[in-house]
């Protein structure tokens, strides 16, 4: 029975998810009720997971499910950003008329899938979680079904995601075939000091599938279209939560069963990292749509997170986790600003719509200023520290080229962030936007901006937690 | 009083002021009061830093008023402290900032509040650069300055402000990221980024050249040295007066300070190895940019190019590695800080009245603006380096030590002094003397009270330090000797090590 405590959060979210579904079906006009209840569910869930932080590292279900510092932290991060997403988007959903009961339920089920992914210690459990998550995301992407872009992006995402899932499954089967088990611990016990071709192929296929999920170059093609087409609140969800979950799986998958094969996978991760950093920063330069730009910028950011993983040390893993945390906060802040660009019931999402924003909305534009400089990684904002930890870990292992390419691409990336700041601060004034935003949105923006701005005062708040995560 | 964190107070006071201004509601009537708050804060900071100078012990070789706190446990300590080299730059910064605040009166019409916040934040960051005794803290302050400066140029600048702001930002960022890599590498080689400890430990010879180049890439852009100086004329021309002043008077000095503190102290054998490179680039800067300055039509651009030439003297002096040379360089930086600030303020004065910076739009001003012509004369002579102005002492010391190193270098550099006289006097002649042709000029008003305050408070130290340089020289003397001692002993260790290999 003691063991069940450890997956109580998962049980709780599954049960409340089903209850809410039944409630929504049988009670008419209950969209708002279900929405609020699911926020409450997430808050309780956060408390439940927090309760587990003191738990020792332990396994469940024949070692196929693992609760440790990594999984608790990543779950809290997932649920926490989920709460912020829900907080900030209810009014948006009402305005574009997709405020329906399915929406919060799909979000909850996606979060459930991610929690399973994060804790998985077995290829099958991992795949199970991945599919729960992906199914919910397909529907969420095309949730605005009367909008042609939304449906298009749903189809696109579905087709490509299914393809990548197929590759991933193929990789799983190869690994199973050559090692005789799907369990991460057992794979690592099965003496894998000598690389077998089948294992290497398996790793490659699984990495391809995972890179697709975090949109690392060259498996990023879906990201810009899906980001642009989906409803903004879903894009926000997309930009953060699946990446946190996938990164956790990356860590677990690379460093538990295949840590001895680091020679095999390290070049792949380095390649993915460099390609994402360079491509993410160069391709974003020409973008006009903010959501599309956010897609390219998140591709670049994933490159940095992968650079931390490529190092092969605990410091590297920890730096990646710090990176993804700060990345999550920055994206919440950025998208909250996007959700505020509403005028006469229409949401604007082009860069030039921000023109002269600083005169009408000084506080909003000041927040954007901080967020964008932070995304560009300029000290003393949080984004700088995120990059700093990554490069600290990278240079420890003397991977100078990775560091130099990474830092040079931050300079390129700085250009397009500056361009947005230029539009906000230097360009001609346009009409005012509406200011009657919901409180949740304002609070979300406030919290995240203050976090970014004042992170430098006490940077160890995050690092101290992350230092407890030792995988190797 | 001993435990009072005076340095942190000097660093933080301006940002507290900025914070205060940020939260005061932006009514039209309150704009003036915002300005008084900013002025009060920056003057208080100036007095505080003068007090710091007063209680500073000139005879000690150690860093003083050191504050050392754990910031990121096991990784970075917040460590600040001053020695004879940095204290002068702190005073320069706190001296120039109130003048900038006074000057915004008429030049900045819109968004005065934001401008004041930007200037005060800039002050915090600039003082932080000169105080920090930890490489990462230094980097934070050094880079953080980009944000307010980018906004100052971009929001309140001239016509090509966007281009200039981007160029300034990207050039500097590109130079600095390599420095960040070098800093992190130093951390992993030695386990610390504390400057004092690094002076003791010394770095291995074989890595020094690369690390030196990484730091150099950042400082060379900021100095600016030829051929990466091109951002400076653009940034200067487009920035508002206060922005140009901050750029010329203080931001450029960060790099010179960085050369002295880090390049010399941390990488002695590399500094020794790269002396010819620095000399070459400095000489090109002195001669080439002086010639370019001669051809300028735009007053601000002319002064900007003259800044590059003057900074060429500074780098030349630093890398002579002699007591006189470094002392002269520091003196030259302080003097150039005063003179270039004064020149930019002066250009601001007539630009505000005529809205043109082109030299040929002026002429014969002396008959309508006599007060202005007198102060400008002092500044022009200061820029030339006439004996009796502060400009002379610095250049003289630098050339003196350059002669010890190489006759040829010194001879070419001296040629730069002549060129400086040529372009500055020609500028003065074309603007002030001659016939008053432009009709609009006839109604031009002479200096206002606030302008008199600004310009004379710059003119007095320029003359004072020209006649009596001792306060500056004696402050730096012990620290420079100490630095050279560290330099020479580390150099010796490095040379013996490499001969073993």
Of B161, B166, B184, the CB nearest to A391: B184
* Alpha helices, H only, B160-204: 161-190, 195-201
Give the bridge partners for A342, in sequence order. A347
Q: Which residues in chain B touch residue A426, judged by CB atoms under 8 angstroms apart?
A: 154-155, 161-162, 165
Instruction: Show the tokens assigned to A209.
Output: 């599938």
Q: Which residues in chain B touch residue A373, judged by CB atoms under 8 angstroms apart?
A: 147
Q: Does B174 touch chain A (CB under 8 A)?
A: yes
Q: What is the pLDDT of residue A323?
A: 93
End-to-end CA, chain B: 51
Q: Does A392 touch chain B (CB under 8 A)?
A: yes
- Nearest alpha-carbon partner for A35 in A109, A95, A92, A87: A87
Residue A412 contacts residue A282 (beta carbons within 8 Å): yes
Residue A232 contacts residue A336 (beta carbons within 8 Å): no
What is the number of other CB atoms lying within 10 angstroms of the CB of residue A3?
Answer: 13
Residues in chain B: 501
Of A379, A380, A396, the CB nearest to B188: A396
Q: Does B187 touch chain A (CB under 8 A)?
A: yes
Helix, strand, coil % over all residues of chain B, rounded to 5: 80, 5, 15
Q: Which residues in chain A touch residue B185, judged by CB atoms under 8 angstroms apart?
A: 395, 400
Q: Which residues in chain B touch residue A316, judged by CB atoms under 8 angstroms apart?
A: none
Per the listing, tokens 């006839």 go with B442
Burial class for B500, CB neighbours closer than 10 Å (0-12, 13-18, 19+): exposed
Instruction: Show the tokens assigned to B309.
Output: 């030439």
Q: Which residues in chain A touch residue B154, judged by CB atoms under 8 angstroms apart?
A: 421-422, 425-426
Residue A172 contacts residue A127 (beta carbons within 8 Å): yes
| B65 phi/psi in degrees, rounded to 5 | 55, 35
Name the DSSP class of B387. Answer: B
A296-345: per-residue pLDDT in tens?
999 999 999 999 999 888 889 999 999 999 999 999 999 998 888 888 87
Of A378, A396, A456, the CB nearest to B147: A378
Q: For residue B44, what are the CA distances in angstroms to A311, B13, B14, B41?
A: 49, 9, 9, 5
Q: Is residue A62 part of a domain?
A: yes
Cα–Cα distance for residue pair A400/A406, rounded to 1 Å: 10
Residue B189 contacts residue B152 (beta carbons within 8 Å): no
Burial class for B3, CB neighbours closer than 10 Å (0-12, 13-18, 19+): exposed
At a CB cut-off of 8 Å and minimum separation 6, what does A191 contact? none
Q: Are B177 and A407 a contacting pair at CB < 8 A? A: yes
Per the listing, tokens 């601060």 go with A425
Q: Which residues in chain B touch residue A391, judged by CB atoms under 8 angstroms apart?
A: 180-181, 184
Residue B404 contacts residue B320 (beta carbons within 8 Å): yes
Q: Are B181 and A378 a contacting pair at CB < 8 A? A: no
Q: For residue A159, what are the CA distances in angstroms to A109, A155, B467?
A: 21, 6, 81
Nearest-neighbour CA in chain B from A227: distance (Å): 28
Q: Are B154 and A425 a contacting pair at CB < 8 A? A: yes
Q: Are B184 and A403 a contacting pair at CB < 8 A? A: yes
Residue B281 contacts residue B252 (beta carbons within 8 Å): no
- Nearest alpha-carbon partner for A123 in A157, A178, A73, A173: A173
Cα–Cα distance for residue pair B207/B194, rounded to 1 Å: 18
Q: Is residue A171 part of a domain?
A: yes
Q: Are B174 and A408 a contacting pair at CB < 8 A? A: yes
Q: Which residues in chain A touch residue B72, judged by CB atoms under 8 angstroms apart?
A: 459-460, 463
Q: Is residue A288 part of a domain?
A: yes
Q: What is the pLDDT of residue A194?
A: 63
Q: For residue A210, what are the CA distances in angstroms to A184, A187, A242, B343, B393?
A: 16, 19, 10, 60, 66
Q: Does B140 touch chain A (CB under 8 A)?
A: yes
Q: What is the pLDDT of residue B30?
A: 55
What is the number of other CB atoms lying within 10 angstroms of the CB of residue B60?
Answer: 13
Cα–Cα distance for residue pair A66/A252, rounded to 1 Å: 10
Angle at A50 between CA A18 and CA A61, to 5 degrees: 60
Helices A400-426 and B161-190 pack at an angle, to 10 degrees, of: 150
Q: Are A411 and B185 a contacting pair at CB < 8 A? A: no
Of A379, A396, A426, the CB nearest to B140: A379
Q: Is residue A90 part of a domain?
A: yes
Q: Does A405 touch chain B (CB under 8 A)?
A: no
- 3-state SS, one letter per residue, for B468-493: CCHHHHHHHHHHHHHHHHHHHHHHHH
Instruction: Show the tokens assigned to B319.
Output: 């890398």
Cα–Cα distance for residue pair B10/B47, rounded to 1 Å: 10
Instruction: Show the tokens assigned to B482.
Output: 């100490």
Residues of chain A below pLDDT 70: 1-2, 191-195
| A147 phi/psi in degrees, rounded to 5 | -95, 125
Q: Tens of pLDDT along chain B (501 residues)?
A: 456 788 888 888 888 888 888 887 655 555 677 788 888 888 998 998 888 888 888 888 788 888 888 888 778 888 888 888 888 899 999 999 998 888 886 656 667 788 888 889 999 999 999 988 899 999 999 988 889 999 888 888 778 888 888 989 998 898 888 899 999 999 988 888 888 888 888 788 788 888 999 999 999 998 888 888 888 888 888 888 888 898 888 988 998 899 998 888 888 888 888 888 989 999 998 999 899 988 888 888 899 999 899 899 999 999 988 888 899 999 999 999 999 999 998 888 888 888 888 888 888 888 888 888 888 888 998 888 888 888 888 888 999 898 888 888 888 888 888 888 888 888 888 888 877 777 777 777 888 888 888 888 888 999 898 888 888 888 888 888 888 888 888 888 877 776 665
Closest-approach residue (CA) in chain B for A402: B181
Closest-approach residue (CA) in chain A for B163: A422
At a CB cut-off of 8 Å and minimum separation 6, what does A127 contact? A165, A168, A169, A172
Percent of chain A with pLDDT over 90: 40
Q: Which residues in chain B touch residue A404, judged by CB atoms under 8 angstroms apart?
A: 178, 181
Substitution target in A379, A402, A420 with the highest count of B β-carbons within 10 Å is A379
Q: Is residue A471 part of a domain?
A: no
pTM of the model: 0.91
Buried b (16+ CB within 10 A) or exposed e, B208-218: bebbbbbbbbb
- Which H or E run includes B78? strand B76-82
Q: Which residues in chain B touch residue A389, judged by CB atoms under 8 angstroms apart?
A: none
Cα–Cα distance for residue pair A6/A23, rounded to 1 Å: 27
Nearest-neighbour CA in chain A from B122: distance (Å): 13
Q: Does B115 touch chain A (CB under 8 A)?
A: no
Q: Does A407 touch chain B (CB under 8 A)?
A: yes
Total number of domains constituting chain A: 1
Burial class for B195, CB neighbours closer than 10 Å (0-12, 13-18, 19+): buried
Q: Are B140 and A373 a contacting pair at CB < 8 A? A: no
Q: Which residues in chain B touch residue A418, judged by CB atoms under 8 angstroms apart?
A: 150, 166, 169-170
- Nearest alpha-carbon partner for B268 in B497, B498, B500, B484: B484
Q: Is residue A157 part of a domain?
A: yes
Q: Cα torsion for A26, A27, A33, A38, to the nearest 10°?
A: -10
Q: What is the pLDDT of residue B14?
A: 87
Give residue B368's Cα distance to chain centre.
33
Q: Does A378 touch chain B (CB under 8 A)?
A: yes
Instruction: Show the tokens assigned to B167.
Output: 């160029």
Of A379, A395, A425, the CB nearest to B185: A395
Nearest-neighbour CA in chain B from A394: distance (Å): 10
Q: Which domain holds residue A160?
A: 4-466
Cα–Cα distance for residue pair B129/B124, rounded to 1 Å: 9
Half-sphere exposure of residue B45: CA atoms within 13 angstroms, side-chain side: 33
- Which H or E run includes B28? none
Q: Are A415 and B180 a contacting pair at CB < 8 A? A: no
Nearest-neighbour CA in chain B from A436: distance (Å): 20
What is the number of other CB atoms lying within 10 angstroms of the CB of residue B468?
Answer: 12
ipTM score for this prediction: 0.89
Q: Does B147 touch chain A (CB under 8 A)?
A: yes
Of B140, B161, B181, the CB nearest to A403: B181
Of A362, A373, A403, the CB nearest to B147: A373
Cα–Cα distance for residue pair B232/B221, rounded to 1 Å: 9
Q: Is residue A220 part of a domain?
A: yes
Q: Does A395 touch chain B (CB under 8 A)?
A: yes
Q: Cα torsion for B482, B184, A464, A11, to the nearest 10°?
A: 170
- Nearest alpha-carbon partner for A140 in A100, A91, A84, A168: A100
Instruction: Show the tokens assigned to B406.
Output: 């190489």
Q: Is residue A472 part of a domain?
A: no
């Amino acid at each position: 029975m003691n063991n069940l405590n450890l997956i109580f959060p998962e049980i709780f979210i599954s049960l409340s998810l089903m209850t809410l579904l039944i409630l929504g079906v049988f009670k008419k006009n209950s969209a708002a009720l279900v929405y609020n209840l699911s926020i409450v569910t997430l808050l309780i869930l956060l408390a439940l997971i927090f309760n587990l932080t003191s738990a020792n590292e332990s396994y469940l279900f024949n070692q196929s499910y693992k609760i440790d510092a990594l999984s608790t932290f990543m779950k809290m991060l997932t649920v926490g950003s989920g709460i912020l997403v829900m907080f900030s988007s209810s009014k948006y959903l009402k305005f574009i008329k997709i405020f329906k009961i399915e929406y919060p339920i799909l979000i909850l089920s996606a979060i459930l899938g991610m929690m399973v992914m994060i804790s998985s210690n077995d290829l099958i459990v991992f795949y199970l979680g991945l599919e729960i998550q992906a199914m919910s995301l397909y529907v969420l992407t095309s949730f605005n079904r009367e909008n042609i872009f939304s449906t298009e992006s749903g189809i696109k995402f579905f087709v490509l995601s299914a393809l990548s899932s197929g590759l991933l499954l193929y990789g799983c089967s190869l690994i199973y075939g050559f090692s005789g088990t799907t369990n991460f611990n057992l794979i690592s016990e099965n003496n894998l000091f000598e690389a077998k071709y089948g294992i290497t192929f398996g790793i490659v296929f699984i990495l391809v599938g995972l890179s697709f999920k975090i949109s690392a170059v060259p498996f990023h093609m879906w990201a810009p279209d899906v980001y642009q087409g989906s409803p903004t609140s879903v894009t926000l969800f997309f930009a953060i939560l699946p990446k946190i979950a996938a990164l956790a799986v990356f860590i677990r998958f690379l460093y538990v069963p295949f840590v001895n094969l680091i020679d095999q996978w390290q070049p792949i991760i380095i390649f993915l990292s460099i390609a994402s950093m360079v491509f993410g920063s160069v391709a974003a330069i020409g973008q006009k749509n903010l959501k599309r730009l956010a897609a390219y910028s998140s591709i670049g950011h994933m490159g940095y997170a992968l650079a931390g993983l490529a190092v092969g040390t605990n410091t590297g893993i920890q730096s990646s986790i710090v990176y993804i945390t700060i990345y999550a906060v920055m994206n919440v802040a950025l998208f909250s600003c996007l959700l505020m660009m509403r005028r006469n019931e229409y949401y604007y999402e082009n860069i030039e719509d921000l023109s002269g924003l600083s005169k009408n909305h000084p506080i909003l534009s000041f927040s954007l200023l901080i967020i964008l400089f932070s995304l560009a990684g300029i000290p003393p904002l949080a984004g700088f520290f995120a990059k700093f930890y990554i490069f600290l870990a990278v240079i420890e292992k003397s991977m100078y080229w990775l560091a130099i390419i990474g830092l040079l691409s931050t300079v390129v990336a700085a250009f397009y962030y500056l361009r947005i700041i230029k539009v906000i601060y230097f360009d001609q004034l346009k009409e005012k936007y509406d200011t009657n935003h919901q409180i949740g949105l304002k609070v979300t923006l406030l919290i995240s901006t203050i976090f970014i701005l004042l992170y430098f005062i006490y940077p160890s708040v995050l690092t101290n937690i992350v230092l407890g995560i030792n995988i190797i | 009083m001993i435990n009072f964190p005076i340095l942190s107070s000097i660093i933080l006071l301006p940002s507290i002021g900025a914070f205060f201004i940020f939260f005061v509601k932006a009514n039209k009537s309150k704009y003036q009061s915002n300005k008084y708050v900013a002025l009060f804060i920056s003057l208080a900071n100036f007095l505080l830093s003068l007090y710091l100078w007063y209680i500073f012990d000139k005879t000690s070789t150690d860093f003083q008023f050191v504050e050392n706190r754990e910031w990121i446990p096991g990784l970075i300590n917040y460590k600040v402290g001053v020695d004879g080299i940095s204290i002068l730059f702190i005073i320069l910064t706190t001296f120039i900032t109130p003048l900038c605040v006074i000057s915004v009166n008429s030049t900045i019409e819109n968004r005065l509040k934001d401008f004041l916040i930007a200037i005060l934040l800039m002050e915090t960051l600039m003082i932080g650069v000169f105080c920090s005794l930890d490489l990462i803290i230094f980097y934070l302050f050094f880079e953080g300055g980009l944000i307010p400066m980018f906004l100052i140029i971009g929001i309140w600048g001239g016509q090509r402000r966007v281009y200039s702001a981007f160029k300034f930002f990207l050039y500097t960022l590109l130079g600095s990221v390599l420095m960040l890599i070098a800093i992190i590498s130093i951390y992993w080689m030695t386990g610390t980024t504390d400057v004092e400890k690094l002076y003791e430990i010394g770095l291995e010879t074989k890595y020094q050249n690369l690390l030196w180049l990484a730091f150099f890439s950042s400082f060379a852009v900021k100095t600016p040295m030829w051929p990466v100086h091109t951002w400076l004329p653009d940034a200067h021309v487009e920035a508002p007066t206060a922005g140009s002043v901050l750029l010329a008077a203080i931001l450029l000095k960060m790099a010179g300070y960085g050369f002295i503190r880090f390049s010399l102290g941390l990488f002695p054998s590399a500094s020794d190895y790269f002396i010819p490179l620095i000399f070459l680039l400095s000489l090109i800067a002195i001669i080439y940019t002086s010639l370019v300055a001669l051809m300028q039509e735009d007053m601000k651009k002319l002064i900007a190019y003259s800044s590059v030439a003057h900074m060429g003297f500074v780098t030349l002096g630093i890398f002579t590695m002699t007591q006189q040379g470094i002392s002269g360089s520091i003196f030259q930086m302080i003097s150039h800080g005063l003179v270039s600030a004064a020149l930019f303020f002066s250009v601001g004065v007539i630009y505000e009245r005529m809205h043109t910076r082109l030299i040929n739009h002026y002429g014969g001003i002396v008959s309508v603006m006599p007060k202005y012509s007198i102060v400008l004369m002092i500044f022009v002579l200061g820029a030339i380096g006439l004996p009796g102005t502060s400009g002379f002492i610095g250049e003289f010391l630098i050339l003196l030590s350059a002669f010890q190193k190489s006759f040829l270098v010194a001879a070419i550099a001296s040629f730069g002094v002549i060129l400086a006289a040529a372009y500055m006097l020609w500028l003065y002649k074309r603007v002030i003397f001659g016939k008053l042709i432009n009709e609009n000029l006839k109604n031009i008003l002479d200096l206002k009270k606030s302008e008199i305050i600004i310009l004379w408070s710059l003119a007095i130290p320029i003359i004072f330090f020209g006649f009596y340089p001792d306060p500056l020289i004696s402050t730096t003397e012990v620290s420079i000797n100490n630095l050279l001692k560290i330099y020479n002993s580390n150099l010796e260790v490095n040379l013996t090590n490499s001969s073993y290999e």
